[in-house]
Amino acid sequence: MNVFSKITGTGSYLPPRRVTNQDLTIQLAADGIETSDEWILSRSGISARHFAEADVSASDMAVIAAQRAIEQAGLEKNQIDLIIVATSTPDHLGGFPSTACIVQKKLAMNNCAAFDVQAVCSGFIYAVSIADAMIKAGTHKNVLVIGAEVFSRILDFKDRGTCVLFGDGAGAVVMSASKQPGVLATKLHADGHYSHILSVPGKAANGAVQGSAFVQMDGPAVFKVAVSVLEKVAVEVLESANMTAADLDWLIPHQANIRIMQSTAKKLHIPAEKVVVTVDQHGNTSAASIPLALDCAVRDGRIKAGQTILIEGVGGGFTWGAALIRM
């Protein structure tokens, strides 16, 4: 008998501190950096984002999102047999112990494997693909997949080209073994030749950071690559399932920039009303953006059981990927 993986629960968490474009404009002006609500909104579609307090880590937010996803799935914590956390902002320098292991500890779970995935803004897609493969292989039955980020910690607030774009948050799904198809197809890609256009180039050495510990981005180059690869990977994953964009109920792209999202939808001939958009209120939350948007649309009733969604993301590395899912 074939075994499939299916999303059985979703959850998310945003830190309480909501930072509007006007709030940022005032903060940046104090350092002589000029910007405005209109400037930010016209270039990104972002009106606000959430920033975590200084004592809140990626694992703290991940735990809350995970608890909500597990509850919605109708499971007990001890039924989870694998935790995968996608993050570029792990709790510890060097990424160990993994944020997934810290989440496991905070959830008081000790009967499952746990590890992190680093593919930046594509991390959640990568993690879903790994979970799907492991469930289909029969090695795991209930996998907790989380995207969690505290990008506010790696933003240079003297660089208005990046600091206005990102936010903090976490999103999670429970993926369970099922007799009915859930994840219909996944496609993953990477091209390290573009690694220089979006990165945090600093390195740890001798107890100090060498180089910059802040996000650096060539905006026009990122935009050009993102628009190109997102259309291609969407077509690729649809074709692998013998489907077309017309078969989709919803498109949930990585919430990076409204212009990238609109361009991708237009190329795929997907109407705007079928695109889930949260970038206006969340900003770019990297690996957390897709599960945050998914949970929002599930809980407000837009996404219903039996519907078909396409999730896709692109991030530093350069990495990109897509997953076709029946809810």
Give pLDDT tens digits for 25-54: 999 999 899 999 999 999 999 999 999 999
List, in order of start, the domains of the chain with CATH numbers.
4-180 (3.40.47.10), 184-326 (3.40.47.10)
**Active-site option among 254, 257, 282, 296:** 254
The stretch 80-94 carries a mean pLDDT of 96
Token reading at 293 = 């948007």
Whole-number pLDDT of residue 204: 87
Q: Is 163 a catalytic residue?
A: no
Q: Is 282 a catalytic residue?
A: no
Looking up tokens 């969340």, which residue turns up? 282
Taking each helix axis from N to C terminus, what angle separates 37-44 and 258-267, rounded to the nearest 10 degrees?
30
Give the whole-number percent of the chain exceeding pLDDT 90. Answer: 95
**Active-site option among 140, 163, 284, 296:** 284
**Active-site option among 21, 101, 112, 121:** 121
Residues 44, 257 contacting (CB under 8 angstroms): yes
Q: Is the pLDDT of residue 65 over 80?
A: yes
Taking each helix axis from N to C terminus, what angle separates 123-136 and 289-299, rounded to the nearest 10 degrees?
70
Q: Is 254 a catalytic residue?
A: yes
Looking up tokens 């405005």, which residue turns up? 36
Q: Where are the alpha helices (DSSP H) in the chain?
A: 21-29, 37-44, 58-73, 99-106, 123-136, 160-163, 219-240, 258-267, 279-282, 289-299
Whole-number pLDDT of residue 281: 98
For 183, half-sphere exposure in the C-beta direction (CA atoms, 13 angstrom radius) is: 29
